Amino acid sequence: MVDGLLDRLGVPASAYTHGNHPVHTPIDGSAIASVHLESKAQVVAKIDKAEQAFQAWRNVPAPRRGELIRLFGEVLRQYKADLGELVSIEAGKITQEGLGEVQEMIDICDFAVGLSRQLYGLTIASERPGHHMRETWHPLGVVGVISAFNFPVAVWAWNTTLALVCGNAVVWKPSEKTPLTALACQALFEKALKAFGDAPDGLSQLVIGDRDAGEALVDDPRVPLVSATGSTRMGREVGPRVAARFGRSILELGGNNAMILAPSADLDLAVRGILFSAVGTAGQRCTTLRRLIVHRSIKDEVVARVKAAYAKVRIGDPRKDNLVGPLIDKPSFNAMQDALARARDEGGQVFGGERQLQEQYPNAYYVSPAIAEMPAQSAVVRHETFAPILYVLAYDDFEEALRLNNEVPQGLSSCIFTTDLREAERFQSASGSDCGIANVNIGTSGAEIGGAFGGEKETGGGRESGSDSWKAYMRRQTNTVNYSRELPLAQGIVFD
């Protein structure tokens, strides 16, 4: 299924045949390749190499570093269709979303190229005569990137393009579920390196491995920054371990994203927003809409309209004309069924959520998206289940809606549909949504790369992608220069 594609993308067959770790496509559950899992020692060797590459790369002028990313963006444009298709095959995304993910990579390349001429610091007024102060930003070193199956290529690109433009080297450990897209990214990046000419060897490396490989990155003191995307459970381990050696981390963990749907809202827009955010990527985005907090006066109407839309959603092979592809694997399907059973136990009324196409694909897990009308924000609603389940809660007054929005452990994305300016502004105010992303009349998912991406509380607090997220990939240095013939001390101290 993938040989021709991987060949076109420049991945040698030796990288994905005769390995010790099978790779399955969620489309039909079949094994499509096998890769070699690397040992801890191999990861350490790659960190050594990256460290050496960093020594040279940090001295290359940033706009020249940007040129490498410009070339990478060109390569991605050229291979967008192939890489998008590989994302569909390996992660199960529908074609539109596979292509969208590659577009997100191209967008962050463009952003990073511009950034390569804008790594600005401040100049600061000194209290001492004949002195000036400034802030400079320097590269950090080797950046470790750990990414998840659901955005197998874009999240790496967010991190790597910024890290490289900032003068760092990168070692990437993708999810064991999606090594082929990672091999393809590496092959494409190597095309850009070749066109660039003189980048140091080992500047951006890939590690195909399991938990051991991740641990090697997390524990190595030569990796000053670890950017990790995945479950809150994973982040709970990674964060403290990196902190214990005084490393930094960017954590991008679970979300439990809500929409407040107010009585003044444009319901046509809202229903479309719900559909894309709740059902897109088969509910496997960290930004997926998981909770609908709807005003009681419109709840029945909205639920009826969403159910009608859900009933029409085409489910099946993500490369065909469908809107919902498969779940990534069986554990994911089981977790969804467990959550639906718990929702019923907690007093919920469940619609949908059944397995689909089982006869055609006995080893793949297609489901109809589920809606669970809940009497309260009970335990199952507060937990992130990485599947298309939309919990519906009714509210009577706006304060209650805000409280429900915030009363979960996670804090990634949120949105409100309203035409009431007061509600919209309040939602985005200091006493409104407590999430890293708070949208008005737009769903919770599908953020552009230009903004900082990430969230609060159990989401981990990290910010990646746009705005000034680049600062996390650099170290700040405060410089004071004395151009006078005196040596005055700060705070007026006399020390004669």
Work out whether 459 is an interface residue with ligand UN1 (CB under 6 A): no
Determine which residue in the list 435, 447, 452, 474 makes contact with ligand UN1, applying CB under 6 A: 447
Shortest spacing between CB 46 and ligand UN1, in angstroms:
24
Binding residues for ligand UN1, total number by CB under 6 A: 11
Nearer to ligand UN1, 232 or 445 (CB): 445
Determine which residue in the list 87, 286, 389, 438 makes contact with ligand UN1, applying CB under 6 A: 286
Among 167-175, 262-270, 442-450, 478-486, which window interacts with ligand UN1 (CB under 6 A)?
442-450
Work out whether 151 is an interface residue with ligand UN1 (CB under 6 A): yes
Map the footprint of ligand UN1 across residues 154-193, applying CB under 6 A.
155
Shortest spacing between CB 148 and ligand UN1, in angstroms:
6
Nearer to ligand UN1, 209 or 446 (CB): 446
Query: In three state form, how does the secondary structure of the chain look?
Result: CCHHHHHHHCCCHHHCCCCCEEEECCCCCCEEEEECCCCHHHHHHHHHHHHHHHHHHCCCCHHHHHHHHHHHHHHHHHCHHHHHHHHHHHHCCCHHHHHHHHHHHHHHHHHHHHHCCCCCCCEECCCCCCEEEEEEEEECCEEEEECCCCCCCHHHHHHHHHHHHCCCEEEEECCCCCHHHHHHHHHHHHHHHHHHCCCCCCCEEECCCCHHHHHHHHHCCCCCEEEEECCHHHHHHHHHHHHHCCCEEEEECCCCEEEEECCCCCHHHHHHHHHHHHHHHHHCCCCCEEEEEEEHHHHHHHHHHHHHHHHHCCECCCCCCCCECCCCCHHHHHHHHHHHHHHHHCCCEEECCCEECCCCCCCCCEECCEEEECCCCCHHHHCCCCCCEEEEEEECCHHHHHHHHHCCCEECEEEEECCCHHHHHHHCCCCCCCCCEEEECCCCCCCCCCCEECCEECCCCCCEECCCHHHHHEEEEEEEEECCCCCCCHHHCCCC
Determine which residue in the list 95, 116, 168, 287 makes contact with ligand UN1, applying CB under 6 A: 287
Work out whether 261 is an interface residue with ligand UN1 (CB under 6 A): no
Nearer to ligand UN1, 150 or 181 (CB): 150
Give me the catalytic one of 286, 373, 415, 435.
Answer: 286
Active site residue 286: yes
Give me the catalytic one of 67, 252, 458, 464.
Answer: 252
Work out whether 150 is an interface residue with ligand UN1 (CB under 6 A): yes
Nearer to ligand UN1, 46 or 285 (CB): 285
Shortest spacing between CB 26 and ligand UN1, in angstroms:
16
Work out whether 229 is an interface residue with ligand UN1 (CB under 6 A): yes
Active site residue 185: no
Map the footprint of ligand UN1 across residues 117-146, applying CB under 6 A.
none
Determine which residue in the list 224, 352, 446, 461 makes contact with ligand UN1, applying CB under 6 A: 446
Question: Catalytic positions, please?
Answer: 252, 286
**Site residues for ligand UN1 per CB under 6 A:** 104, 150-151, 155, 229, 285-287, 445-447
